[in-house]
Amino acid sequence: MRHCAPVALALVALACAVDPEPLDFDSPDATDPTAEGWEEVDTDASSSDDGDPADDGATPGEAGTADPDDSADGGTPDTCGDGTIDASEACDSGDLGGATCQSMGFDGGALTCDASCRIDTSACVGCGNGTIDDGEACDGAILGGQSCTSVGFEDGELSCADDCSEVITDACTVAECGDGVRNGDEVCDAADVAGATCLSLGFASGDLTCADDCSELDTSACVAAVCGDGAQNGDEACEGDDLGGSDCVDAGFDDGELGCSGDCTFDTSACLICQQFGEDCRSDADCCPGMHCDAFFGDLCWP
Ligand SMILES: [Ca+2]
Ligand SMILES: [Ca+2]
Ligand SMILES: [Ca+2]
Ligand SMILES: [Ca+2]
C-alpha cells in the first residue's frame, strides 16, 4: 500500500490498521469513484477497524483513502500524479473528484486534470470555453470576426451575451448627421469636411462647410479664384509674377524666362530652344545663354 510506506512507523500501524475498513469499497456504492466515495472513506477512517484484512486490494479508490490520513498527519507532502487527490490538489491524474464539464458549467466535453493537478476545462464544450461551439453566436471575447460595423452599425464595441447566444450591440453606435463625425454614407458632418478646403477645391479662399443633410460639401462661403486677384489660384496657370513654381523647362523649352499673360496663362515668348552644355552646335547662337560654341572641344556648347 502506497500510503503505508511514507509515514512514520506508528502511523503505518494506524494506517494499516485502518486499511481493513475499505471493505465498503466492495459494496456497489463504494466502487463509485466519486466524491461520495470520499466521504465514506473519511467516515471509515475515523471509525474503528472492522478487522477485515482481506480488503487490501489496491484499487485507485482505495489509494485515495490514504489522503485524509496523510493530511491528518500533516507529515506527508502532496504528490501530484500519484492518482490521489491531496489537500492542495483539485484533481489528480484520472481522479477528478467527481467533477465533470457539466458540473463546471459547460454543456459537455471531457474534463481533464493537468500536470499541476488543476482542473482543465479546455476540452469542455459550451459557453465560456473561449471557442464558438455549435449553437453559439460568440463566446466571451471571441466574436468570430464580427464587429459593430459588420452587423450594421458604424462604430462602437460589440460584445457577447453571457450565455453566448447572441452578440450584444448596446455599445454600437449608428451614423447620425449632426454628430460632428463623418460616418455611414455621409460626405461630411458639420466641421468634419474630410480634409478638404476651399483652396483644395480650386477656390481662392473662404471657409468650406458641410450641407445640413451631410450629403455634400458646401462651398457657398468659398471665394472664387479670379484672374486679377493677385494670386495664382483656381484653374489659373499663373498670375503676375506668381508662376506657381513653373519655368520654361516645365513648359517644354530648353531655357529662357517664363512669363505670365494678362489672362493668367503662361507667356513663353522669352523661352528658348537652344543647345545646352556639351551639346552640338555650329555657332554661338545655337547655345543657350551663358555658353558659346567651342571649336576646341569639337563644336560643343561650352561655358
Ligand atoms: Ca496527489
Ligand atoms: Ca463555447
Ligand atoms: Ca455623422
Ligand atoms: Ca487669381
Tell me if 217 is assigned to some domain: no
Q: What percent of the chain has pLDDT over 70?
A: 75
Find the 259 Cα to ligand 4 centroid distance in Å.
15
Q: Which ligand is nearest to the CA of 189?
A: 3
pLDDT confidence tier of residue 108, bands split at 50, 70 and 90: confident
Question: Rounded CA gap, 77 and 294, in Å?
Answer: 104
Summarize the confidence of residues 4-15 as an average pLDDT.
Answer: 39
* Ligand that comes closest to the CA of residue 115: 1
Q: What is the mean pLDDT of residues 273-295?
A: 94
Instruction: Please give the average per-residue pLDDT across 33-46, as a whole number.
Output: 40
The answer to whether residue 153 sits within a structural domain is yes
Mean pLDDT (the chain, rounded): 80
Residue 238 neighbours by CB under 8 Å, 6+ apart: 232, 244, 246, 260, 264, 265, 266
Q: Is residue 32 part of a domain?
A: yes
Q: In angstroms, what is the span from residue 96 Cα to ligand 2's centroid?
A: 22
Dist. CA 134 → ligand 3 center (Å): 38
Ligand in closest contact with the CA of 140: 2
Give just the sign of the alpha carbon dihedral 132, 134, 137, 140: negative
- The last residue of one of the domains, among 139, 174, 209, is 174
Is residue 169, in this structure, part of any structural domain at all?
A: yes
DSSP-based three-state secondary structure for 265: coil
pLDDT number for residue 74:
54
What is the distance in A from the centroid of ligand 4 to the CA of 174? 43
* E strands in the chain: 108-109, 112-113, 119-120, 124-125, 155-156, 159-160, 167-168, 172-173, 205-206, 209-210, 217-218, 222-223, 255-256, 259-260, 266-267, 271-272, 292-294, 300-302
Show Cβ contacts of residue 122 under 8 Å, excluding neighbours closer than 6 positions: 112, 129
pLDDT in the model for residue 227: 95
Report field, pTM of the whole predicted structure over 0.75: no
- Cα of 181 from ligand 3 centre, angstroms: 4
Confidence of residue 3 (pLDDT cuts 50, 70, 90): very low
Confidence band, pLDDT 50/70/90 cuts, at residue 43: very low
Tell which wins on pLDDT, 91 or 15. Answer: 91
User: Does 20 fall in a domain?
Assistant: yes
Mean pLDDT along residues 118-143: 91
pLDDT score of 205: 92
Give, in order, the Cα–Cα distances in Å from 39 to each of 45, 97, 177: 10, 11, 68
Measure 158 CA to ligand 2 centroid, in angstroms: 17
Average pLDDT over residues 180-187: 89
Is the separation of the CB atoms in 293 and 283 below 8 Å?
yes
Mean pLDDT in residue range 97-110: 90
Closest ligand to C-alpha of residue 94 is 1
First to last CA, the chain: 110
What is residue 75's predicted lDDT score, i.e. its pLDDT?
Answer: 57
Q: How far is the CA of 137 from the centre of ligand 2 (A)?
A: 9
Q: Compute, in angstroms, the gap from residue 91 CA to the centroid of ligand 2.
A: 23
Residue 108 CA to ligand 2 centre (angstroms): 10
Residue numbers of the domain that contains 69: 9-73
Is residue 78 one of the residues assigned to a domain?
A: no
Does residue 102 lie in a domain region?
Answer: no
Reading the block at residue 11, the C-alpha cell is 502511523
Which amino acid, one-letter code, is at 251? A
Report CA(93)–ligand 2 centroid distance (Å): 25
- Residue 151 included in any domain: yes
Number of domains present in the structure of the chain: 2
pLDDT (average), residues 159-179? 93
Of the three residues 142, 157, 174, the one that is the final residue of a domain is: 174
Reply yes or no on whether the pLDDT at 150 is more than 70: yes
Q: Would you state the torsion angle of the CA atoms of residues 132, 138, 143, 147, taken in this order, to the nearest 10 degrees?
A: 150
Buried b (16+ CB within 10 A) or exposed e, 165-187: eebebeebeebebebebbbeebb
Residue 38 has pLDDT above 60, yes or no: no
Task: Give the pLDDT confidence of 278-288 residue by residue, as tens digits.
Answer: 999 999 999 99
Classify 71 as helix, strand or coil: helix
Q: What is the CA radius of gyration of the chain?
A: 45
Out of 73, 93, 111, a domain closes at 73
Q: Which amino acid is at 198?
A: C
Nearest 5°: CA angle at 184, between 179 and 190? 35
- Looking at per-residue pLDDT, the higher value among 199 and 33 belongs to 199
| pLDDT tens sequence across 184-214 | 889 999 999 999 999 999 899 999 999 999 9
